[in-house]
Amino acid sequence: MSVSRRISDLGRLIALAGSLSVGAFAAQAADLPRVVSMNLCTDQLVLLLAEPEQIVSLSRLATDARSSSLAEQAKAYPRNAGRAEEIFLSAPDILLAGTYSDKTTLATLRSLGLRVEQFPITTALDQIPQQIRQMGEVLHQQGKAAARAAEVEAYLDAVVPPDSTAPVAAFYYPNGYSLGANTLGHDIITAAGFRNLTQELGMKGSGNLDLEQLVVQAPDVLISSPRYPGGSRSEEIMFHPAIAHYARDERLIFSSADWVCGTPITLRAVRDVRRARETIMHQEQDQ
């Protein structure tokens, strides 16, 4: 066989191998389910784990930077308003929703044969790895999900719970709204080394903290939300003169979008609060 013939045959083999690999990749991509998310937190898990071609649309809150830590990334994708008609017509393989997503919409889409996967609200940091793995199963992205979940688990394994000498933080939002035990916010601040005032007062879930009680208890730090343009009367209590010293003494921590959903990004909130705690402790040592 001539050298030119062997080179020609080799070229055809390389071309055939290339076409087979491209075909295999295309088939693999085609096997990945296409999804619509109608929930802020499933939006973010999808953005962290899915391939771009899997994302049909995200919820209308996905690009709200006050609510979503991945608002910029979400701008690359269509958004939906959570209506059954638009979701059905977009022809996804799976609809991703939250526990409290509109029941009528979900029932309608299920009756039309659409697979619906609902994810619970995250109330503790140690629930995050399971939810990552659950989303990985849904998206057929188990490898990515396992790696992300392991990172969160490794971080949480190193967390030391606060003892009785740890500084105290209190959640204080518009209308005196506060967070006690069994909430993601509570887990964030305790993982960062603070005790939670309302948890110590017996609050579970969410509730209200009276201004008078806050003043008497005198926590070391307040956790609150920034004042947005426009404002409302419900926010006025957060700027009462009796607690103005928290802002003046740099003992006011603003929660952000990182606190809203249970994802690997939640660990960034823990780190931010821990840095604030370290700053406060240094200030006290210098006095």
CA angle 33, 67, 127 (to 5 degrees): 60
Q: Which tokens belong to 196?
A: 């939670």
**CA 137 to chain CA centroid, nearest Å:** 18
pTM of the shown model: 0.85
Contact 34, 56 (CB under 8 A): yes
Lowest mean per-residue pLDDT among 5-9, 48-52, 128-132, 246-250:
5-9
Spatial contact of 168 and 109, defined as CB atoms under 8 Å apart: no
H helices of 50-141, in order, are 71-74, 84-89, 103-111, 128-139
Three-class DSSP category at 11: helix
Q: pLDDT, tens digit, for every residue of 192-217? A: 999 999 999 999 999 999 999 999 99
**Among the listed residues 136, 144, 115, 135, the one whose alpha carbon sits nearest the alpha carbon of residue 41:** 135
Distances (CA, A) of 181 to 16, 145, 178, 192, 207: 61, 28, 10, 15, 11
d(CA 39, CA 120): 11
Residues 53-82: what's their mean pLDDT?
Answer: 97
Closest by Cα among 126, 127, 128, 104 to 116: 104
Span 240-253, pLDDT tens digits: 888 988 988 889 99
| pLDDT at 27 > cutoff 50 | no
Q: Give the CA distances from residue 180 to residues 90, 164, 172, 202, in Å, rounded to whole numbers and listed in that order.
A: 41, 17, 11, 8
Residue 282 pLDDT: 80
Nearest to 175 by CA among 234, 241, 225, 254: 234
Residue 39: band (very low, low, confident or very high) from pLDDT cuts 50, 70, 90: very high
List domains and CATH numbers for the chain. 35-157 (3.40.50.1980), 168-286 (3.40.50.1980)
Q: Tens digits of per-residue pLDDT, 263-278?
A: 999 999 999 999 989 9
